[in-house]
Structure 1
Amino acid sequence: MKQSLLLASAILLFAAPIANAEEGSFPKVCKSDMATDMSADHSKMMTGMMQMDKDMMQGMMHKDPDVAFVCGMIAHHMGAIDMSKVELKYGKNAWAKEMAQKVIDAQTREIAEMTEWLKTNAK
């Protein structure tokens, strides 16, 4: 349990800065303040993100670091799919909607692959 907690903490503390360093900074426009009057679509997206965070942390607590990674990624992908569904339902921009569909398609396949991997590798 202690090893899993350390792994989860390490991932949370170091993964985001490493990813940002390799891929560039998080766009400033994405850091802007949220309007105080959140629309229904924003509210649904935020609720989905909170569930994803909870599931991801739980999955990352597995004692096997490989299984912890895969479980965390499944939760992460599920959150991305939920966000993409909100975009498809409420979004107005054609490019953003196309990107949302690509996310759904790719990450649905990846979830299936990871779930199969868990069936044979998780103990």
Structure 2
Amino acid sequence: MSVRTQFIMLALGLSMATPVLAQEPHAPATHGHADTMAAAATDPVAKAFEDANLKMHKDMAIAYSGDADVDFVRSMIPHHQGAIDMARIQLMHGKDPGMRALAEEVIKAQEAEIAEMRKWLQDRGM
């Protein structure tokens, strides 16, 4: 199994296994980032990842059109950009050759998919 396939399986497994955090009805939503935000306060690498993650989530908060195709593409562009941003952080700070290679693959694949999605929107006058 390739490193990329293992990474994808891990990412899917973690996203499906993420526990729902109980919150007070009046508590602001943190999307489970309290621990990462604390680490980001003292660790520059954690801060870089947290900043990329927060930007991705902010940019994914689109005004929904009700068209599943359009809403999917408009949401996925910033999602893919977030993956690119995180891969670039890995390349700046990571040392593992396998993870560096994976980060390079992620950048190449996600940039191509973003270009495809932007063209799809452009072809529809959006």
Native 8 Å contact 1:84 1:100 kept in 2 = yes
Deviations 1:41-99 (A, max 9, x none): 1101111111101111216x233221110011101000000000000000111111110
- In the alignment, structure 1 segments of 5+ residues that lack a partner are 1-19
Q: Does 1:86 pair with 2:67? A: no
Provide the identity percentage. 36
113-122 vs 94-103, greater mean Cα deviation: 113-122
| Aligned counterparts of 2:110 and 2:118: Cα–Cα separation in 1 | 12
Number of residue pairs the alignment of both structures matches: 98
| Aligned counterparts of 1:82 and 1:67: Cα–Cα separation in 2 | 23
Moved over 3 A (4+): 33-38
| Aligned counterparts of 2:78 and 2:101: Cα–Cα separation in 1 | 22
User: Offset of 1:39 from its aligned partner?
Assistant: 1.7
User: Offset of 1:122 from its aligned partner?
Assistant: 5.2
Q: Does 1:64 pair with 2:67? A: yes
| Aligned counterparts of 2:105 and 2:77: Cα–Cα separation in 1 | 17
With over 3 angstroms needed to count, the CA separation of the structure-2 counterparts of 1:113 and 1:42, relative to structure 1, is same
Question: Could you state the TM-score of these two structures normalised by the residue count of structure 1?
Answer: 0.68
User: Offset of 1:114 from its aligned partner?
Assistant: 0.4
User: Offset of 1:26 from its aligned partner?
Assistant: 1.5
Q: RCO (CA 8 Å, sep 6+): is it higher in 1 or 2?
A: 1
Matching residue of 1:17:
none
With over 3 angstroms needed to count, the CA separation of the structure-2 counterparts of 1:47 and 1:24, relative to structure 1, is closer
Query: Which of 102, 121, 124 does residue 99 from structure 1 map onto?
Result: 102
Q: Does 1:117 pair with 2:105? A: no
- In the alignment, structure 2 segments of 5+ residues that lack a partner are 1-8, 18-34
Aligned alpha-carbon RMSD (Å): 2.7
| Aligned counterparts of 2:60 and 2:12: Cα–Cα separation in 1 | 24
Native 8 Å contact 1:67 1:122 kept in 2 = no
Question: Could you state the TM-score of these two structures normalised by the residue count of structure 2?
Answer: 0.67
| Aligned counterparts of 2:12 and 2:84: Cα–Cα separation in 1 | 23
